[in-house]
Structure 1
Amino acid sequence: MNGLEEGVEFLPTMNAKKLEKPNPKHYMVVAAILAVCLVVSLLVGLLVWHFVYKNAPVQKLYNGHLRFTGSRFIDAYENSNSSEFATLAAKVKKMIIDIYKNNPDVGPFHKETVITSFSEGSIIAYYWSEFSVPKLQADALDKAMANIQASNQATPMKLRNPDLRVDTIVAFSTNPETIKALQDNSCKYALHAKEGLITSFTTPGFPNSPYPPNARCQWELRADVDSVISLTFTTVDLEPCKLGSDTLAVYDSLSALEPHAMVKLCGSYSLSYNLTFVSSQNVMLVTLITNGEGRDPGFRAEFFQMPKMNTCGGTLRGIAGNFTTPYFPGHYPPKMNCTWNIEVPRDKNVKVRFHNFFLAEPGVPVDSCTKDYMQVNYVKHCGSKKMFVVSSKTNKIAVHFHSDLSFVDTGFLAEFLAYDSGDPCPGKFTCKTGRCIELKKRCDGWNDCTDASDEVNCTCTEKQFRCNNGWCKPKYWLCDGVNDCGDMSDELQCQCPANNFKCSNGKCILESQKCNGKDDCGDGSDEGDCSSVVTVPCKEYTYKCRNNLCVNKENPECDGVKDCGDNSDEDNCNCGTRSFTKKSRIVGGLDAEAGEWPWQVSLHVGSEGHTCGASVVSEKWLVTAAHCFHDANFARFSNPKSWIAFMGLLDQRDRSNPSVQRRGIKRIITHPDFNDFTYDNDIAVMELDSPITFTKQVQPICLPDSSHKFPAGQVLHVTGWGATAEHGAGAIILQKAEIRVINQTICESLMPGLLTSRMMCVGILEGGTDACQGDSGGPLTSIEANGKMFLAGVVSWGDGCARRNKPGAYSRVPQFRNWIREKTGL
C-alpha cells in the first residue's frame, strides 16, 4: 500500500492544466454565462406561455336578433331554403359584418355569421356569430357584444346597406350546444298556425318509440302578424332531471336566446300540471337537446294563434270584482306591464285578496322581486304564496304587474272587495293580513291567519298550555316529539339528561347503550337507526334476512344497498315504481294522473259500481280491507263472484280504456281476527281469477317487512275514488292527498279507546284533508329510500271525514306482513 491514503489522485505530468492553481475569474465567467442563459430561457418560456398558452385564441359564440326597416316581410322569408331568404340573408349578414368591423374589439376576431330565420316586425333577423379571440381580449369582446346596440347607433350610415336601415341589434353569449342545434337540420321543423285550428306536433316517433339520443331538435312556431301563440304541452315524459339530462325549452323568440327562455323542462309531468305558455309576439321556438343515455317517450304539444292583447289592466269600479294576469290560468307572456286602478264607493275602503299567487322565477329570492312581480302600496310581491290580502286606507288602490323577458309563471287570480273600515270582517275575526276567519278559530293553537295574528295575546284554556312564545296549544301536543310551539318549549321539558338517548316511547337510556345490539328501549328505537349495519340478535324491531340472521338497520329492504350477507334485503324489489315522478279529491285532494298510482285498484260489486279500493302486490294478489266484505242488507259482499277488479283505471267512466285490465276474483281471504265492530285487524287479500300484465299503468306496490317503521311526521299519500266531502258523492277521477303519520299517543288522546296497535293514525290535525267513504281498502303509500314506494297502510275507518283533530285510522301493514306471506306466498 506504500503507506498512502486512499482517495489521493496522482496526475500524469502531461496534464498541465490540472497542475495549475485554479483562477477565480474563470468561475465568474462561467457563472455569468449560465445566468444569462437562465434568464434568456426564462424570458423565452414566459413569452411562449403568454402568447401560446395564456393568450391562446378561444372560441366565442353569440346569438341574437337584428330589427331593420326598408323591406316588407313576405311568406318566402319563412322558408330558409328559398332564394328570397338567401338574398335577404346575404344583405343582413353584410350589415352585421360592417357593424363588427367598425368596432376594434369585435371586427378583427370575427370568423362566421349565419342568418337562421326571419319574422315580422318590421323584419327581425335571427343570427349567430362565431369569433376566435385571444384569451386576454375575451372580456373586451364580451363587453363590446353586450353593448353592440350602442355601438350600432354610433356606426356611420355609409357602412350599412343603402336599402335597409338597422333599428336595433342585440347579441348574447351562448354555448356551442345551442349553435349545434341551430345548425342541425335533421330534426328541425317549421310550423305556422292556421286561423281557427289547433296544430299538434310531437317528438320523433312519439308515442310508439322514444326520441333519438344525442339529438338537437327544434320547432319554429309562427302565427299571423298581430297574433300571439298559445302553446300547451299535453304530455311531457323525458329523462329524469339531473345534471346534463335531456332538456325541453321554450323561447319567446326564433333563436335560443337565454334571456328569452320562457321555461326549461326535464323529467315527467302529470296531466294536471299547467304547461300552457303564451308568446309576446307571433313567434316561438321549442328545442329539445338530448344526451346519449336511456331514452324516454318525449312530448306531445299543440298550439294555436289568437289576437294579441292590446290592453292590460284598466279601471275597475264597484263593490266587488275579479281580475287576473293575462291568459290566466295559463302562463302569462313575457314583457307585460299591467296596472289595475280599483275604486269602490267613497264611504268604503278597498282590499284585494290574491288567490293562486305564482310569480316565481329560477334563482330569484322571494325577498328581492327583481324580475317578475306584483306591486301594491309601493311594496313588491313575488314567489309562490298562499292566499293573502292587501288593503288601502282609502276607497282606491292600484295594483301593478310586471313580467320581464324570461321565465314565466301562472300569475294570479285576485278579487277586490269594498268594506267598512270600522268592521272589515262582520261577525268574524280580522287577521292582520286582512283575511277573515271564524271567531272559534281565534286562539285555538292553529295558524289560520297565515301570519299567526289569530294566535297572539291569547288566554289559554284548561285544555291548553302556554308556549314560551305566548302561543296556546292543546295539551296533548306536549312531549309528542314534534316542535308544535315553534320554539321547542313543548318538548324541552321532555328531554333526557345529558349523555342520555331518548327512545321513541319516551324512555331515557344511556348514550352508550345506543346501537349496542340490545333492545334497551323496549321498542327497538335505540337499535333501529345506527351508522353501521351489523348482525344482531333477532328481535321484533330487527330485519330478518333469508339466512335467518338479523341486521340492525332501519328499513333496509329495497333501498339499493345490500345489507344482508345473502343480499336478500334487495331481492323481490321489482315493485313500487311509477311512470312519472312529479311534482291531493279524497277530501282536500287533487286529481291523480294515469300511471301515477299504478297499484291502485277499483273494486266493483254488482250494480253498486265502485265500492272499495285495493292495492296490486303481485300478478295475482291484491291487498284491501276486510270490512269491504261484510255482508249487509241481503248483499253477499263476501261472495268472490260478486266482485270485479279494475287495474290501471283513472276515470270511472273510462273502464273500457285499453290500458285498463279487468279481472274477476277467485277467492277472498279476510283476517280471521277481524272485528266488524272495532275494525281491528281490518285487512284482507284477494286472489284474481287470472294474472294481470304489468304495464306503465299497472305495477305492484312494495310490501314492507314486519320491522318496517313509518315514524310520526312522515309524509304518506292516500288515493281513492271515495267521497270528496263528508256525506258527499264519490269521485269520478282518482284522487290523491298528502297526509302525515300522527303520534300514536296523540291519536289515542283524540280518539280514546278506539285505536289498537294494529292501526296507524294518519292525517292532518287541522282538518281539510282525509280519506272518506268509498276509499276503504285503498292504499296508504310511503316513498322510501331509492325512490321505492311501500304499502304503509290500508284505508280502514275514521270519525267523519277531514274533521279537525280527527285523523283517519289505517290498518298497519307491517303488523300483517307475516299473515300476508302465509296466505299468498309473497
Structure 2
Amino acid sequence: MKNSDSGLKYNSRTEKMNGFEEGVEFLPAMNSKKMEKRGPKRWIVILAVVIGALLLSVMISLLVWHFKYRDVRVQKSYTGYLRITNVNFIDAYENSSSPEFSILAEKVKDLLKTLYLGNSDIGPYFKQCEVTAFSEGSVLAYYWAEFSVPKYREEAMEKAISQGMPTENVIGRRSHLLNIDSLVAYPADPKMAKDSRDKSCYFSLHTSPGVKTSFSTPGFPNSQYPNNAHCQWVLRADAGHVISLNFKTFAIQPCRQPPQDFVKVYNSLSPVEPYALVQLCGSYPPSYNLTFLSSQNVMLVSLISDATGRYPGFRAEFFQLPKTTLCGGTFRNASGIITTPYYPAHYPPDIDCIWDIQVPSDKNVKIRFNMFYIAEPGVSVSSCTKDYVEINKQRYCGELPQFVVASNTNKIEVRFHSDKSYSDTGFLAEYLSYEASNPCPNQFTCKTGQCISKALQCDGWNDCGDFSDELSCTCTEDQFQCKESKICQPKFWVCDTVNDCGDNSDELGCECAAEMLKCGNGKCIPLAQKCNSIDNCGDGTDEFNCGAVAPVNCKDYTYKCKNNQCINKNNPECDGKKDCTDGSDEENCSCGTRPITTKGRIVGGVNAYVGEWPWQVSLHTSIDGKHICGASVVSNKWLVSAAHCFQNAAGARYSDPSKWTAYLGLHDQNSLNSKNVVAVKIKRIIAHRDFNDYSYDYDIAVLELENAIQFSNTIQPICLPDATHNFPVGKSLWVTGWGATKEGGPGAAVLQKAEIRIINQTECNKILSGAVTPRMICAGYLSGGIDACQGDSGGPLSSVEANNRLYLTGVVSWGEGCARRDKPGLYTLVTTLRKWITDQTGL
C-alpha cells in the first residue's frame, strides 16, 4: 500500500473508529517539528554509527595484523662455537658417532638451551640447537642454533645475539659440570645452513705426520658431483700443527652472480663468513695457485650445488705443518729475500710479522717488491683495513706491480698483518743496500728507488711505474708531449680515442667543430648527417648505433642477417641480444669461451696457464721434428694459420699436409703426451692464392684436420668475426705462442702471452715506410719490448668482446725483428678475409 493511501490524516474533525466514536482534538501547532514523534537526534545516531564502524575497522585490522602479520615467523640460523675450559680433548671427540661425542654434545646442547632460554629477547624464539664438531683448545664445541621469531621482534633478537650473552650468564658459568669462557655466534648463510643435520655428504679426515691425505667430490673423476648437494669435509691435523690444503684439480659449474655452485674453505669448523679463507667456482688449471693455509689444526671445506650442471668437481690433498711463530725476524746482511709465510701458497689468516732490517751503517736500505698480491674482497686499496704491509707508517694492499720503498737510513721495518678471513698469495721482496749518493750505478734511478736501464729513459713508456723516467724529457719528432705532465708519448697514440696522457691532451685536437660529427676514420661531417641511412663518413660509422636496432640498406659496413636483412648495430654477433629478426646474429655462438677460469694469477713471468687460450695450436713438422708455427681452432675440423708457414724452402716441402701434425690443448712443448693434448694429422692445407711472400699480403691459410676433434676444457674454438666487425684503434689485444722470447733466441717451452694495442693504420704505415696493406693490422708498442717473434707465426691475435667472448682479430704474420723500438708487429686482419675463409671452409 502506498503511503498516500494510508487513510490516516491529521485533522480537527471527529471520526468514527471501530464501531464507536472517540473525540480526538488536535490543537493547532505553532511549530510542526515539535509535533513529530522522535527518539535521539539524528546526527547523534549517524555519529555513533560512524564511530562504531571505525572501531570495528580498527578491531578487524588489529586482528588481521595479529593473526596474519604480527605472528609471521622468520626462521633464523646461527652458527658459532664455545670454549670449554675444564674438559680435555680426546680422539673420540673427532667421531660424531662415538658415545663420548654424544655425551659431551648433549651437555653442550643443554647449556646452550639454558643460556638462550634465560634471555627474554632470545628465549621465546629458540627452537633447537645441534653440536656439529669438537676440536682442541681446550675443547671448542661448534654448533648450529635455530630460531623462529616474529618479524617485529627480529631486530631485537638479532641485537641480543650480536651483543653476546650477558657476562654473568656465560663467562665462568658452570652448568652440567661444564665451564665455558667464551661463546661466539654468527648469522649463518642460508645455503650453508641448509639441513645442517644431513650427514649424507659429510666426511671427517685426519692427516698424519709426513702423509698427504687426498679427498674429492663424490664420483670424481668418473661422474659429476651431486646436484642440490651440501657436502662438507672436516679436515684435522695433530695439535700444534696447521693445515696446508691444495686443490690439485678443480672444475665445477662456471661462476655466476650470485654463485649457484661454489666451494668455500673456512679457517674453522663453523661455516661463518668471518673465518672464510676463499670462495671458488668455475674451473682452474693445475698451474693456478690454489694452496691455502690454516692458522690452527682444523679446516672446513664446503660444497654447495644447485639442481643443474654436469661437472666433475675437485680433487684435493692436505697435510700438516708444525705451527710456528717464526714470521719476520732480524736481518743484518747487506741484502736478502723476505716473503709472506709459506709463499707462494696463500699466507695464513690471523698472523702478524715484523722484519727488522739493518744493512751496514755506511749504506741506505730499500725494499723491492717483485710480487705483491695482498687483496681481500670488498676492501679499498686506499684504506687497507684488513690485510696489509706497513712501511714508514704507509700501508700497502691490493694487486700492485713491482715497486720499491726506500729508507734514507740503513734501517727499515716491514710489518705484515692478515685478519681472520680471506688470504692471498702475499709478497716476494728483496732488501738491498745502496750508496746514498749513487743508488743505481750505471742505471737510472726512479723516484720510487727502483733502478732501470738508462736506455728506457724518455722512451714514452712508464718503466718506473711513477713516470719519473719520462719527466723532463725532450720529445722527438715521432713523439707528442702531453700538456700537463709534459710526458712524451708516441705520435700514433694521438687521436686514437684513448686518453694516454691522462689529461686528454692527446685527444683534444682531434674533435670536430660544433655541430659536426667525427667519423671513425677521423673525417668530420655535419651532425645532421648521422643516422640518415647514407654513408657520409665513408666507413659507415655515422650509421652505426642509431638508437633502436632497425633494418637499414645493406652496405659494406652493415651486418647482414641470414635472411639478407641488414641492421644498424655495430658488432651485433653473439652479444647476447637477438638483433636480427631471424635471430641469426646469435647463432653459432658456441665459441670464444674459456671453460677454465681465467680470472687469477700465476706467480711470476708471462706464462699462460693451462686452458687459458684453448684455441691455440702448435704445428710440428716431420721435416724439423719440432714446433714451427701456431694456428687457431675455429671448428672441430678447421684451423686458421698463416700462409707463409707452408711455403717450400731449400728442398723442404712444407706445403705437404702429410708432413704436419697439429697439437691441440698443448701447454708445454715438453709435454706432448699430456692427457690434455690431442695430436691430429693435417688432411689439407689451403693457403690464399694471392699470398705474396715478399710483402706478406694475404698471409692466411686454413687447415683441414684429418679427424674431427672433441672439444674439452683445454680445446675450444675461437669466434670468427663478421666481415663488418670493428676493432677500434687503441683496443687491447692478446698475442700468444711458443715463439722466441727474444730476437734470435730459442723458442719458449711454455705457452707465452702478451697484451698489445692496435696502432693507427696511417701512423703505422709511416713508421714502416708504406709496407702496411689493407689486409694487415698493426699492433704493439713503439717502445718495443712486447711483440710476437719467430715461432709465433700463424698463431692468434685475440680480442675480448661482448660477454667476455674472444674473437680472432688477426693472425701473426711478420715484423722487422722482434720487439724492436719503432717496429710494431703486423698481423693478417681476419675481417678483410672473412669471406675467403667461408668460401674455403663453409664457416
TM-score interval, smaller chain: over 0.9
CA deviation profile, 1:21-63 (whole Å, cap 9, x unmatched): 7667243144235314523542563475368624644332211
- 1:71 is paired with a residue whose SS is coil
Question: How far apart are 1:191 and its partner, in Å?
Answer: 1.0
Q: Are 2:764 and 1:747 equivalent residues in the alignment?
A: yes
Cα separation, 2, equivalents of 1:768 and 1:153: 69
Residues 102-501 of structure 1 mapped to structure 2, 5 A cutoff? 102-148=118-164, 151-152=166-167, 155=170, 159-162=174-177, 164-180=178-194, 182-241=196-255, 242-469=257-484, 470-501=486-517
- 2:680 is paired with a residue whose SS is strand
For residues 281 and 428 of structure 1, do their structure 2 counterparts lie closer, same or farther at Cα, with a shift above 3 Å needed? same
For residues 686 and 466 of structure 1, do their structure 2 counterparts lie closer, same or farther at Cα, with a shift above 3 Å needed? closer
Note the residue ranges of structure 2 that are not aligned, 5 or more in a row: 11-31
Aligned to 1:650: 667
For residues 549 and 679 of structure 1, do their structure 2 counterparts lie closer, same or farther at Cα, with a shift above 3 Å needed? same
Question: How far apart are 1:449 and its partner, in Å?
Answer: 2.0
Aligned to 2:82: 66
Question: How far apart are 1:229 and its partner, in Å?
Answer: 0.6
For residues 570 and 63 of structure 1, do their structure 2 counterparts lie closer, same or farther at Cα, with a shift above 3 Å needed? closer
Question: How far apart are 1:328 and its partner, in Å?
Answer: 0.7
For residues 635 and 44 of structure 1, do their structure 2 counterparts lie closer, same or farther at Cα, with a shift above 3 Å needed? same
Q: Are 2:729 and 1:712 equivalent residues in the alignment?
A: yes
Question: How far apart are 1:130 and its partner, in Å?
Answer: 1.6
Question: How far apart are 1:633 and its partner, in Å?
Answer: 2.6
For residues 558 and 381 of structure 1, do their structure 2 counterparts lie closer, same or farther at Cα, with a shift above 3 Å needed? closer
For residues 235 and 15 of structure 1, do their structure 2 counterparts lie closer, same or farther at Cα, with a shift above 3 Å needed? farther
Q: Are 2:717 and 1:700 equivalent residues in the alignment?
A: yes
Query: Structure 2 residue aligned with 1:617, among 609, 629, 634?
Result: 634
- 1:666 is paired with a residue whose SS is strand
1:198–1:303: 8 Å Cα contact kept in structure 2? yes
1:589–1:737: 8 Å Cα contact kept in structure 2? yes
Higher mean displacement: 250-259 or 747-756:
747-756
Bigger radius of gyration among the two: 2
- 2:756 is paired with a residue whose SS is strand
Cα separation, 1, equivalents of 2:706 and 2:57: 88
AA in 1 matched with 2:351: M
Question: How far apart are 1:159 and its partner, in Å?
Answer: 4.2
2:593–2:804: 8 Å Cα contact kept in structure 1? yes
Q: Are 2:841 and 1:824 equivalent residues in the alignment?
A: yes
Cα separation, 2, equivalents of 1:50 and 1:237: 50
1:152–1:169: 8 Å Cα contact kept in structure 2? no
Residues 639-788 of structure 1 mapped to structure 2, 5 A cutoff? 639-788=656-805
For residues 277 and 153 of structure 1, do their structure 2 counterparts lie closer, same or farther at Cα, with a shift above 3 Å needed? farther
AA in 1 matched with 2:6: P
Provide the identity percentage: 55
AA in 2 matched with 1:418: S
TM-score of the aligned structures, taking structure 1 as reference length: 0.93
1:68–1:123: 8 Å Cα contact kept in structure 2? yes
Cα separation, 1, equivalents of 2:426 and 2:195: 31
Aligned to 1:597: 614
TM-score of the aligned structures, taking structure 2 as reference length: 0.91
AA in 1 matched with 2:812: V
Question: How far apart are 1:424 and its partner, in Å?
Answer: 1.9
For residues 699 and 101 of structure 1, do their structure 2 counterparts lie closer, same or farther at Cα, with a shift above 3 Å needed? closer
1:588–1:769: 8 Å Cα contact kept in structure 2? no
For residues 445 and 519 of structure 1, do their structure 2 counterparts lie closer, same or farther at Cα, with a shift above 3 Å needed? same
For residues 168 and 562 of structure 1, do their structure 2 counterparts lie closer, same or farther at Cα, with a shift above 3 Å needed? closer
Aligned to 1:545: 561
Cα separation, 1, equivalents of 2:411 and 2:66: 66
For residues 156 and 596 of structure 1, do their structure 2 counterparts lie closer, same or farther at Cα, with a shift above 3 Å needed? closer
Cα separation, 2, equivalents of 1:318 and 1:595: 41
1:99–1:159: 8 Å Cα contact kept in structure 2? no
Aligned to 2:832: 815
Aligned to 1:4: none
AA in 2 matched with 1:819: W
Question: How far apart are 1:468 and its partner, in Å?
Answer: 1.9
Cα separation, 1, equivalents of 2:664 and 2:170: 70
CA deviation profile, 1:344-401 (whole Å, cap 9, x unmatched): 1112221111222111111111111111111111122111111122122221111111
CA deviation profile, 1:393-438 (whole Å, cap 9, x unmatched): 2211111111111111111111111122222222333222222223
For residues 158 and 749 of structure 1, do their structure 2 counterparts lie closer, same or farther at Cα, with a shift above 3 Å needed? closer
CA deviation profile, 1:179-209 (whole Å, cap 9, x unmatched): 2253221111111112212122111122222
For residues 160 and 629 of structure 1, do their structure 2 counterparts lie closer, same or farther at Cα, with a shift above 3 Å needed? same
For residues 332 and 531 of structure 1, do their structure 2 counterparts lie closer, same or farther at Cα, with a shift above 3 Å needed? same
Question: How far apart are 1:537 and its partner, in Å?
Answer: 3.1
1:433–1:451: 8 Å Cα contact kept in structure 2? yes
- 2:41 is paired with a residue whose SS is helix
For residues 620 and 405 of structure 1, do their structure 2 counterparts lie closer, same or farther at Cα, with a shift above 3 Å needed? closer
Cα separation, 2, equivalents of 1:625 and 1:588: 27
Q: Are 2:105 and 1:89 equivalent residues in the alignment?
A: yes
For residues 779 and 442 of structure 1, do their structure 2 counterparts lie closer, same or farther at Cα, with a shift above 3 Å needed? closer
1:480–1:746: 8 Å Cα contact kept in structure 2? no
Residues 9-24 of structure 1 mapped to structure 2, 5 A cutoff? 10=4, 12=6, 20=36
For residues 15 and 566 of structure 1, do their structure 2 counterparts lie closer, same or farther at Cα, with a shift above 3 Å needed? farther
AA in 1 matched with 2:465: T
Q: Are 2:43 and 1:49 equivalent residues in the alignment?
A: no
For residues 695 and 15 of structure 1, do their structure 2 counterparts lie closer, same or farther at Cα, with a shift above 3 Å needed? farther
Question: How far apart are 1:113 and its partner, in Å?
Answer: 1.6
Count of paired positions = 816
Query: Structure 1 residue aligned with 2:525, among 479, 497, 509?
Result: 509
Higher mean displacement: 649-658 or 398-407:
649-658
Aligned to 2:25: none
2:614–2:713: 8 Å Cα contact kept in structure 1? no
Note the residue ranges of structure 1 that are not aligned, 5 or more in a row: 1-7
Q: Are 2:623 and 1:629 equivalent residues in the alignment?
A: no
Question: How far apart are 1:568 and its partner, in Å?
Answer: 3.7
For residues 324 and 825 of structure 1, do their structure 2 counterparts lie closer, same or farther at Cα, with a shift above 3 Å needed? same
For residues 39 and 196 of structure 1, do their structure 2 counterparts lie closer, same or farther at Cα, with a shift above 3 Å needed? same
- 2:196 is paired with a residue whose SS is helix
CA deviation profile, 1:562-595 (whole Å, cap 9, x unmatched): 334444434444433332242199x973233147
Higher mean displacement: 483-492 or 800-809:
800-809
Question: How far apart are 1:288 and its partner, in Å?
Answer: 0.9
Aligned to 2:808: 791
CA deviation profile, 1:92-140 (whole Å, cap 9, x unmatched): 2223333334433333432212111001111111011122334444333
Residues 554-593 of structure 1 mapped to structure 2, 5 A cutoff? 554-583=570-599, 589-593=606-610
- 1:600 is paired with a residue whose SS is strand
Cα separation, 2, equivalents of 1:316 and 1:600: 48
Cα separation, 2, equivalents of 1:756 and 1:254: 64
CA deviation profile, 1:220-270 (whole Å, cap 9, x unmatched): 001111111101112222222222421210000011021101111222223
For residues 282 and 153 of structure 1, do their structure 2 counterparts lie closer, same or farther at Cα, with a shift above 3 Å needed? farther
2:606–2:754: 8 Å Cα contact kept in structure 1? yes
- 1:384 is paired with a residue whose SS is strand
Question: What RMSD, in angstroms, separates the aligned Cα atoms of the two structures?
Answer: 2.7
Cα separation, 2, equivalents of 1:539 and 1:821: 19
